[in-house]
Structure 1
Amino acid sequence: MNVLQVNGYQSPGRRFNGLSLKPYLATLGVSSKQLVWEQDCLEADVVSLQDKMVRKINRLTRGIERTLSLQSQLYTNGARIARLPEFREADLVHYHIIHSGFLSMQSLPALTALKPTVWTLHDPWAMTGHCIHPFSCQRWKTGCGHCPDLNTDFKINFDTTALNFRLKQFAYKRSNFEVIVASTWMENMVHQSPLFDGVPVHRLPFGLDLDFFKARDQAQAQARLGIEPGRLVLCFRSVMNDFKGLQYVIEALDRIQVNVPICLLTLNDKGRVDRFKERFQVVELGWTNDDDVMRDVYDATDLFLMPSLADSFGLMAVEAMAFGKPSVCFEGTALPEVLFAPHAGIAVPSRDSAALANTIERLIHTPEEREERGHRSRQLAEQHYDIRRQAEHMVDVYRQVVANRKAA
């Protein structure tokens, strides 16, 4: 079977978009190629629409959509994709993050008529009138309109949410695709969405190469990262947006009272936790796609903090599990399910910085609990998040999608 994976990006998120899965699919008789909009390096079987005129037209279209507060409705790249030899040779097309500014939802009817199609929903955007995550808003269940927050990603200038919702509905009803989600949390959203009424849904968690993502020597990893000996390491993403909950980590760190030497190990943005440099050692790594660096990060970590306010899976939490590290998250997202809280990970009430601080303090002072939860986390990662098992299940989904199309 030949599969074409379509995604906005190449290296960022390769464990999401099928690139990491490619060699494991190959052992099962599935040859996969990648079509990406943003190609950042040369890689076998990865292609992109690199024509300068295509890029110029896309930038113009993106500006028009921004002005009109439309999202992924006017792009003309669908016809170009259909003419690519990689598309024509595919037995099945697997779409991933296609709402990053290059493909119109109105292209889906024609594209999905040509090939058996599956679409992995990496977040709830496909179900809403503009936002990536609706948080507590329930208007996505009834058609949107009268949006309570136009500024949350993806920001729009004026309220076109009912129109965007209807345009998606118009496109989906004329399309022929099945859906993959990674968590029960997302599966429940899809079943509640009027946009996906009657669309087959497959739940398939993401996986990792657990021979690569596994604990090694913590002291050596800490030394390579410049962490002072004897520090207990709290690791988290230092990014200020609507989703990742950094402000609650900061509030929790303000609250904790410990006599243990602490290191804050952060990823993404630098300078967000400068206020703690007098109390704790701060090691900021910034943004990285380097898997070897990330192995050192997880090896060096004692406690991983992921208090997202919205998350449809949470692969970094799974990576921490693979290294036998306990994690703390907020309730109300997919993370408690993914972390197997309270058995392995710990979930505290959402936006409750006091509860987060209390849990961090307790785990700092109880190394035996950290060790036990970390041990369970690795066991559960081996049972549920092995990339080889993911590949096997993915092939089963591909075959079922192709069989369903033939039967129809």
Structure 2
Amino acid sequence: MKITHINNTDLPGSRFNGHDLQLDMNQNGHEAYQIVAEKLGHDEHTISLLKSEEHTIRKLFMEFEERLSMHSLIYPYGRKIMELREFREADVVHYHLIHNYLISLFDFEEMTTQKPSVWTLHDPWAFTGHCVYPLGCDKWKSGCHSCPQLDTIFPMKYDKAFQMWEIKKEVYSKLDLDIVVASKFMYDLVKSSPLTSHFERVHLIPFGIKLDKYNSIESKNISRKQWNIPEDHFVIAFRADRSKFKGYSYILEMLDKLVPNRKVTILTVGESGLLNKYKSKYNIIDFDWITDDLHMTQFYAACDVFLMPSTAEAFGLMAIEAMASSRPIIVFPDTSLPEVTFAPECGIVVEKGDTTGFCNVINELMNNPRECERRGRLGRQLAEKNYSYDVYYQKLMDLYKEVSKRKKK
């Protein structure tokens, strides 16, 4: 088959944005490509949509839309994509994060009409008038009047969320495509939205990971020696990300309040230097974003517990990576994460804002290594059963065949 993935970029998020999929599809005898606006890698099947000088023009489009308080309406790149051979000859086109300054909604109908189309919804943006995550707001169910979150991602100077909601409603009413979501949490949102509830073909296909890459409990000491982490330390790992969606402020509150009875190492990935004020209390080892798979598996292997207190999450790939690494994970409710981590049997849920409860769970795990290991081993078993990359890959290939065959009738 000939499959083309469309996303704003290739390497950031490569595990879920189509980049790694097209690599494996090509290895398995298919002809697959990824079309992106920002190409950072060197893969020959990743097609750069823009020449170097065109990035300045794209930035002007971004600024213009922001001034007018609209989003994904004026970008001409959908037209340009339709002219590419990789689009014209594709059996199926798979869309990913199209709202990252890439495609005009007004071109989306024609694009999905020209080619059998699959659209993975990586977040709720598709059915809100503005925000990427509603964060407890239910106005997406009734038209997004008087948006309370104009300053979040894709900020609006003027409140035009209602107009954007209406534009999406009109565009989606004309679309004929298959939608993919990775969690029942997202599936239920899609079915609850007046914008997307009419779509009949919504497929729940959880992301999968290559489980053999992830280390077991026994590999912990090897990773710790590499980074000079003392054997008697309890290691807490998490993503250092100041985004309001990742719950970073709640982690800081917990670190302030925690009174450990063992020495603690804090291990982070994302943005280094954010925890300097804690160096007198904890041993801090922080990394910028890690793109090397081996380094990332060592990161998980070195920790005793992984924290993922996101306040908004459509799936949570790092959660299943931690599970595959046999590490217990702590999450917040009201996101996909309790579902994805099979809480409370495996994942541990702490109420949002309950800093005392957060500290108590950390201390309980610190004082009970057997419970850490029990939850870790269960996480690995659940990852093997539910998050196999081979199963994920095959489900997508089956969907592509079904979509392509249906369109040919």
**AA of the residue aligned to 1:202:** H
Counterpart contact for 1:24–1:388, Cα < 8 Å: no
Displacement of 1:27: 6.6
Q: Secondary structure at the match of 1:34?
A: strand
Could you tell me how far apart the structure 2 residues matched to 1:19 and 1:61 are? Answer: 25
> Which structure 1 segments of 5+ residues have no match?
none
Q: Secondary structure at the match of 2:224?
A: helix
Could you tell me how far apart the structure 1 residues matched to 2:240 and 2:59 are? Answer: 30
Displacement of 1:120: 0.3
Larger deviation, residues 177-186 vs 191-200:
191-200
Displacement of 1:150: 1.1
Could you tell me how far apart the structure 2 residues matched to 1:97 and 1:174 are? Answer: 20
Q: Secondary structure at the match of 1:195?
A: coil
Aligned equivalent of 1:245: 247
Match of 2:229 among 211, 227, 230: 227
Counterpart contact for 1:25–1:392, Cα < 8 Å: no
Could you tell me how far apart the structure 1 residues matched to 2:352 and 2:29 are? Answer: 44
Larger deviation, residues 198-207 vs 271-280:
271-280
**AA of the residue aligned to 1:201:** V
Aligned equivalent of 1:211: 212
Could you tell me how far apart the structure 1 residues matched to 2:325 and 2:53 are? Answer: 46
Larger deviation, residues 251-260 vs 397-406:
397-406
Distance 1:162 1:153, change over 3 A: same
Q: Which residues of 2 match residues 12-51 of structure 1 at below 5 A?
A: 12-26=12-26, 30-51=30-51
Could you tell me how far apart the structure 2 residues matched to 1:308 and 1:179 are? Answer: 24
Match of 1:317 among 311, 319, 331: 319
Distance 1:370 1:4, change over 3 A: same
Match of 2:352 among 330, 337, 350: 350
Aligned equivalent of 1:83: 83
Could you tell me how far apart the structure 2 residues matched to 1:52 and 1:170 are? Answer: 34
Aligned equivalent of 2:372: 370
Q: Secondary structure at the match of 2:203?
A: strand
**AA of the residue aligned to 1:298:** Y
**AA of the residue aligned to 2:204:** R
Could you tell me how far apart the structure 1 residues matched to 2:186 and 2:23 are? Answer: 27
Displacement of 1:291: 1.4
Could you tell me how far apart the structure 1 residues matched to 2:286 and 2:357 are? Answer: 25
Counterpart contact for 1:226–1:283, Cα < 8 Å: no
Displacement of 1:267: 1.2
Displacement of 1:164: 1.0
Larger deviation, residues 29-38 vs 239-248:
29-38
Match of 1:338 among 298, 323, 340: 340
- Among the aligned pairs, what percent are the same residue? 38
Larger deviation, residues 391-400 vs 322-331:
391-400
Q: CA RMSD in A?
A: 1.5
Match of 1:288 among 283, 287, 290: 290
Counterpart contact for 2:306–2:322, Cα < 8 Å: yes
Counterpart contact for 1:30–1:395, Cα < 8 Å: no
> Which structure 2 segments of 5+ residues have no match?
none
Aligned equivalent of 2:160: 160
Counterpart contact for 1:28–1:392, Cα < 8 Å: no
Which string of whole-angstrom CA distances, capped at 9 and with x for unpartnered residues, describes residues 37-75 of structure 1? 110021131101132454343222111101001111110
Q: Which residues of 2 match residues 108-119 of structure 1 at below 5 A?
A: 108-119=108-119
Larger deviation, residues 149-158 vs 212-221:
212-221
Aligned equivalent of 2:144: 144
Larger deviation, residues 222-231 vs 8-17:
222-231
Could you tell me how far apart the structure 1 residues matched to 2:407 and 2:354 are? Answer: 47
Query: TM-score, structure 2 length as denominator?
Result: 0.96
